[in-house]
Amino acid sequence: MTVKSNYVTIKGIKDGLVFLLDDQCDITELLSELRYKLEHSHQNILTGPIIHVDVKLGSRLVTEDEKQLIVDVLKQKGNLLIRSVESLSSEEDSSKDQISTIIGMVRSGQVLHHEGNLLFLGDVNPGGTIICTGDIYVLGSLRGMAHAGVDGNEGAIIAASYFSPTQLRIADIISRPPDEWETRESGMEYAYLLDGVMQIDKITNIVRLGRDFKVFKGV
């Protein structure tokens, strides 16, 4: 019998990396090899600018705790942003309204580009930037710059758990100076355009735009 020893395969794609994880080995052995490759054999490509990561589990059925263990190992590398963790048993049909989830942190000088709607789990530090063609939802602090609807979508919104951005942009509209945010109320808020002027409101009032919290399902 042939014993398989290569449980983790890392492949480069146009906009990031794909981690192909063996779906037959023990989860403990899988995590051990994943740690080793991140710390040793692939250290040269896992440093520097932000890298988007898609994790493919094959036909492996994992619990939420096991999935979190995999995510925790990947998050030890500060430049890795986990875009998706997928298994063949849990894939869903994509649509234009689908929202992607990325976990990580955008540090000063880093720019995160994304096509479509984005749910970002982490903080955007001063000097960091998120640029997105769709909506931006930040479950964390937004202290940098966020640009939603970059291709001209004036219906896009920007939401964050804590608003203290250096600048907001929706389509071609730019927010007022940063001192606008210094006295913001606590609690999640969102920015949107009304008659070409950027407005800020509490997230609980998002239904006024015909939106709801379906974007947070699966988080």
Reported as a pLDDT band with limits 50, 70 and 90, residue 132 is: very high
Per-residue confidence (pLDDT) for residue 92, from 0 to 100: 42
The residue extents of the domains of the chain are 8-86, 99-216
Residue 181 pLDDT exceeds 70 = no
Per-residue confidence (pLDDT) for residue 47, from 0 to 100: 66
24-39 per-position pLDDT tens digit: 889 999 999 998 888 8
Contact (CB, 8 A) for 167 and 178: yes
Domain 99-216 class, CATH top level: mainly beta
Percent of the chain with pLDDT over 70: 79
